[in-house]
Amino acid sequence: MKHVQDRGLKFEYKVISDMDARPDKCSRCGFKTLIRRSHKFIDLQDIGSISIKRVMRHEQVLWQCKYCGNLFTIRNPNLPFDTNYTDDVKNYVLKRVLDLGDTMRRVVSDLAVLHNVKINVSTIHNWIDVKASREANEKYINGEIPVIEHSGALSLDATFKVVRRKKSE
């Protein structure tokens, strides 16, 4: 864990490297000798406090096969692959909006002021949609009634509400 001081705000970095999740063979030909061609850092926002900005820094490695020259990266199992936020941030958001009934705007504001996380309402919308469709799929697989109209469940003022259709519609 690295600590950096910047005008009263403290930064904490946790580094997760692809070097610790080394692929055992080439993704194209299966050859086992790989070289580390280059790397880059991708920062994910983690949940901090009023005075601490927490960053999860992903060291992404570009691998090259020594036999066929194939260049590739891996999906690191220790990191979320579809968002630039940690699971802690995502779980916090889903808990507050879906379980506690807080508005998305309120959660966006609290994350900025209290936890040093910058996020916008559309990102939260997207997470809720993905979660709803995943749960609908699970219900379908389990033989329960599928929830189809999850996309209509979000009102324009960013409050999560269950929308019920009238019989006349």
Q: Which residues bind Zn ion (CB under 5 A)?
A: 26, 28-29, 31, 65, 67-68, 70
Residue 105 CA to residue 89 CA, distance in Å, equals 15
Enumerate residues 6+ apart whose C-beta is below 8 A from 145. 139
Smaller CB separation from Zn ion, 31 or 140: 31
Smaller CB separation from Zn ion, 67 or 160: 67
Please report, to the nearest 10 degrees, the dihedral formed by the alpha carbons of residues 109, 114, 119, 124 taken in order: -70
Reduced to 3 states (helix: H, G, I; strand: E, B; else coil), residue 69 is: coil
Smaller CB separation from Zn ion, 23 or 80: 23
Residue 10 CA to residue 50 CA, distance in Å, equals 10
Residue 54 CA to residue 14 CA, distance in Å, equals 8
Smaller CB separation from Zn ion, 1 or 35: 35
